[in-house]
């Protein structure tokens, strides 16, 4: 199963260079499986999270325990049935799911609005009861729709939820995904489009999830984009390019510089590891990713 189909399957359940190599290698060399035995002492500039679906072969309780030992504070893309388990382990879900109609069917199609509104209205109180304040959402696929119409339609649907979102102090966060490799035809595939949608919705309770992996594929220019668009970004995901694997010297992005750019904007939210580990010791790869990002 491909990484994109794996994540899509999870969502459908809810819907029914040398300097770079040297530095990254240095980080890689100091991470090994024995580090898992003791808790990490992290620097505190980055709040670390991990996406559950990337470790779906690791029992959830084991992932929670390992995450806690690494200094990770959140296991995300988790639903209501998992939130009590997170709480038991002293963890949160920085970006929950549990509402919507999946990636392909989103707010850009007015035919979906009634069902989407009902779905999110239902999840808001559950989020509050669990002490959570964000929920992921999606634009949907284009299906021949132009950008302007897509923004108009998405804004109309999202505005129906903003009063309730504001009441519950919940931020709806639309993910930026690539439509080149993983999510063909997805509409919210460029940061500029997402920013225009934020402006059209006109509420602090609607923002963007800037997925670094996806946006490197679609537009590159990651650091400048983060610096310019950060007021509209509520969350970040990582991933190695190409391939969506480990974020070390095997890929083209230098994550310490990206993390510094994020911190320099004043961002206080979470950064989630969302890469598919290729190595046999998947939790060691996760630990490495956290340490690379812990600037």
Give residue-wise pLDDT tens across range 14-39: 444 333 333 444 444 444 433 443 34
Residue 232: inside a domain: yes
> What is the DSSP secondary structure assignment for residue 271, as one 8-state letter?
E
36 occurs within a structural domain: no
From residue 50, give the alpha-carbon distance in Å to each of 71, 227, 272.
11, 23, 5
- Rounded to whole angstroms, how far apart are CA atoms 97 and 8? 13
**Rounded to whole angstroms, how far apart are CA atoms 53 and 271?**
16
pLDDT at 89 (0 to 100) = 98
pLDDT below 70 — which residues of the chain? 1-40
The answer to whether residue 33 sits within a structural domain is no
Q: What was the pLDDT predicted at 8?
A: 58
pLDDT for res 11: 55
pLDDT at 41: 84
Residue 254 is predicted with a pLDDT of 98
**pLDDT for the residue numbered 9:** 58
pLDDT at 17: 36
Domain of 289, CATH number, reads 3.20.20.150
Report yes or no on 35 lying in a domain. Answer: no
Does a structural domain hold residue 244?
yes
Asked if residue 9 belongs to a domain, the reply is yes
Burial of 2 (0-12, 13-18, 19+ CB in 10 A): exposed
Tell me if 98 sits within 8 A of 135, measured CB to CB: yes
In a domain, 37, yes or no: no
In a domain, residue 62? The reply is: yes
At 12 the pLDDT is: 53
Work out the mean pLDDT of the chain and round it to a whole number: 90
Note the pLDDT of residue 88: 97
Q: Check residue 31 and give its pLDDT.
A: 41
Structural domain including 166 reads: 3-28+42-293
Q: Provide the number of structural domains found in the chain.
A: 1
């Amino acid at each position: 199963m491909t990484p994109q189909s794996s994540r899509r399957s999870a969502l459908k359940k809810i819907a029914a260079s040398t300097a770079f190599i040297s530095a990254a290698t240095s980080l890689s060399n100091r991470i090994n499986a024995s580090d898992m035995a003791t808790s990490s002492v992290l620097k505190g500039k980055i709040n670390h999270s991990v996406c559950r679906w990337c470790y779906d072969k690791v029992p959830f309780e084991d992932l929670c325990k390992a995450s806690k030992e690494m200094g990770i504070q959140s296991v995300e893309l988790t639903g209501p049935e998992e939130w009590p388990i997170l709480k038991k382990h002293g963890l949160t879900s920085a970006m929950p799911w549990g509402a919507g109609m999946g990636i392909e069917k989103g707010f850009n199609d007015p035919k979906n609005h009634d069902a989407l509104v009902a779905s999110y209205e239902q999840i808001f109180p559950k989020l509050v009861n669990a002490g959570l304040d964000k929920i992921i959402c999606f634009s949907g696929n284009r299906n021949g729709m132009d950008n302007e119409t897509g923004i108009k339609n998405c804004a109309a649907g999202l505005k129906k939820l903003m009063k309730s979102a504001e009441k519950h102090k919940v931020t709806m966060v639309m993910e930026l995904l690539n439509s080149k490799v993983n999510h063909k035809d997805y509409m919210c595939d460029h940061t500029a489009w997402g920013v225009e949608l934020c402006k059209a919705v006109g509420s602090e309770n609607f923002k963007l999830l800037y997925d670094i992996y996806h946006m490197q594929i679609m537009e590159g220019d990651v650091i400048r984009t983060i610096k310019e668009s950060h007021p509209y970004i509520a969350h970040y995901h990582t991933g190695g390019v190409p391939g969506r694997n480990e974020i070390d010297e095997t890929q083209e992005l230098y994550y310490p510089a990206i993390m510094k750019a994020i911190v320099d904007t004043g961002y206080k939210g979470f950064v989630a590891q969302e890469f598919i580990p290729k190595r046999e010791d998947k939790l060691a790869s996760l630990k490495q990713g956290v340490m690379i990002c812990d600037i």
